[in-house]
Amino acid sequence: MSKVLVHSLFSDFDINLFKAGKHYRLYEKFGSHIITVDGVEGTYFAVWAPSAKSVSVVGDFNFWNDQEHQLNVRWDASGVWEGFIPNIGKGSIYKYKIHATNSGIQTEKADPYARRCEHPPKTASIVWDNDYDWNDSTWMKKRKQNNAIDAPYSVYEVHLGSWKKKIEENRSLSYTELAEELVSYVKKMEFTHVELMPIMEYPYDPSWGYQITGYFAPTARFGYPEEFKLLVDTLHQNDIGIILDWVPSHFPDDAHGLGFFDGSCLYEHPDKRKGYHPDWKSLIFNYDRNEVRSFLISNAIFWLDQYHADGLRVDAVASMLFLDYSRDEGAWEPNIYGGRENLDAIEFMKALNIEVYQSFPDVQVIAEESTSFPMVSKPVFTGGLGFGMKWMMGWMHDTLQYFAKEPIYRKHHQNDLTFSMTYAFTENFMLPLSHDEVVYGKKSIIGRMPGDEWQKFANLRLLYSYMFTHPGTKLLFMGAEFGQHNEWDFQKSLDWHLLAYDYHTGVKNTITDLNKLYKKYPALYDKQFDRDGFQWISYDDHENSIIAYIRKGNEEKDILIIICNFTPVPRTDYKIGLPQDGKLVLVFNSDDKKYGGSGIYNSKEIKITKDNWHYREYAAEINIPPLSAMVFKIKK
């Protein structure tokens, strides 16, 4: 006989919201919860399995016997199985043994809502509480201004398993160690935010975390859930925001995961044309199912609520938007209007963003979206998808393609650089140089740069300077900030030994100073998504491969002048038109000797004269170093 007591955390209202796809706090109900009933402490379990004939909790407390603790199915046709098991508490290991109604199939599944999972390759769930005393109230009170779209937003993208390793022990750093070492490093580098590649529990290391089985549990690879909270807390105490990679696009078909959960296609779409991803050999969520939408949006809210995340970067949005994504002709079915858009996924994303920004108006949801789908970062009420920002993949591809060319040929490809400004303000764009650009034979960022060693590093500093002065927020993958030569390998630590060499230290110092520059001058962030914040001075000097532009802030005095020379030929007395009188004062030069540059031209102040040039009333003549970016402010 089952030793499960009848008990429920669900009200009728909860069930109605769940069935309608409108319950966005399901983690408060589903899963395992340590509670006291009639003076007895134990654990309440609840799981959604509408195609089940019976559901048992099996674990280390009942020798994995499915006859001991059989849950009770609710009377309301919700498909929810639940019950209270006395004397089971924190640390108990368990799964759900599910017998399907018609097929006779049995599955043994990890809890979709588990707060903690066993360390891979083990796959069971662990009963856990949510106790943690947060110390980040100062950050939480002011984070709305730190996460605003008119604030400096410079992101350091990190894969926790390979950022740094304890070589002698051949292991990655723990959450606790990262709270000390990673936080200290990011603070010194002056980044405003960290983005973590998925930390939700995943079974397969080579997936980098993008094939998730434990959506509500930080991976056990690096420690306990409260230790991950310590990492978040420490980042916040050091004025650093945290963005989590989030994957609502697909999930693996591992036996203990969400796939074929109760003997039916419960979380995945039953039609393989909509429910199976051919590239990743994974299953696609059924966005048409109300309960699945509730699960996913509850998961997004969970990380913002329970873990104080400052934002979510939503992975693979393009694969969700289009029914024909990576599919051959005939392998997909058009929507009801004959189009290729996945209307259910679009409605899901709109509902997600409405709920997130309504509940957490001080965070950001960022779309990794690689197509020209319109209005991704525009509000839902105007017809947009409602994201706060979108990755600017076109800028990334065009810019890296341009920099890979020998400088002598760049004059024929200047449009690769300038083209981004034709669409830069159609979305709230983030400029990404992410992990995807340093794997699978693409080479590292510095590995793409042409020329001898000096030119490679000068090109790299120029690329980063152009990136930080281009409109939009910024993202840089770990290792790129000091010019790692090797491609990223998730099994190995970054090549920290390179910082013993001046060129690599010079790149690191360049990034630090660019972050300082970005945060110091409102011209670089006040209007980073606004056409009024940018003006060309000169974009058509193809022969010299030079561009010059103005960045503007809200105040009239907040303007910066940027000049980039994409060749190794220095230019003397190069004239540019300027908007006002006074003196040009140099505030940044990527060719400075402290970065590993030549240092040949470093005039601190340059007189502006009344002289019509570039359709402006004033002008100045500047000596421009080779392969460099210079940033000036105007002193009246």
Report, as residue numbers or ranges, the catalytic residues.
315, 368
Half-sphere exposure of 147 (CA within 13 A, CB side): 27
CA–CA separation, 100 and 102 (whole Å):
6
Cβ proximity of 125 and 499 under 8 Å: no
Alpha-carbon separation of residue 582 from 49, 358, 546 (angstroms): 72, 47, 23
**DSSP states of 536-551:** EEEEEETTTTEEEEEE
Could you tell me where the DSSP H helices lie in 239-306?
272-275, 290-306
Residue 462: partners with Cβ closer than 8 Å, 6 or more residues away: 564, 565, 566, 590, 627, 628, 629
CA–CA–CA angle 499, 505, 510 (5° rounding): 145
> How buried is 405 (Cβ within 10 angstroms: 0-12 exposed, 13-18 middle, 19+ buried)?
middle
Question: Count of CB atoms within 10 A of residue 172's CB?
Answer: 18
**Residue 288 identity (one-letter amino acid):** D
Stretch (H or E) spanning 350: helix 343-359
Query: Smallest Cα–Cα separation from 439: which of 208, 247, 242, 194?
Result: 208
Question: Count of CB atoms within 10 A of residue 594's CB?
Answer: 13
Query: Smallest Cα–Cα separation from 627: which of 594, 600, 605?
Result: 600
CA–CA separation, 360 and 354 (whole Å):
10
> How buried is 170 (Cβ within 10 angstroms: 0-12 exposed, 13-18 middle, 19+ buried)?
exposed
Cβ proximity of 512 and 189 under 8 Å: yes
Task: Report the largest interatomic distance among the alpha carbons of the chain, rounded to a whole angstrom.
Answer: 95
Output 31-34 pairs: Cβ under 8 A, ≥24 positions apart: 31/111, 31/112, 31/113, 31/114, 31/115, 31/216, 32/94, 32/111, 32/113, 32/114, 32/115, 32/125, 32/127, 32/128, 33/9, 34/89, 34/90, 34/127, 34/129
Give the bridge partners for 34, in sequence order. 43
The residue assigned the tokens 């360049």 is: 510
Query: Smallest Cα–Cα separation from 473: which of 195, 153, 145?
Result: 153
CA–CA separation, 321 and 196 (whole Å):
24
User: What are the tokens at 540?
Assistant: 């058509």
CA–CA–CA angle 489, 179, 474 (5° rounding): 60
Alpha-carbon separation of residue 635 from 561, 575, 632 (angstroms): 12, 18, 9
User: What are the tokens at 227?
Assistant: 């230790």
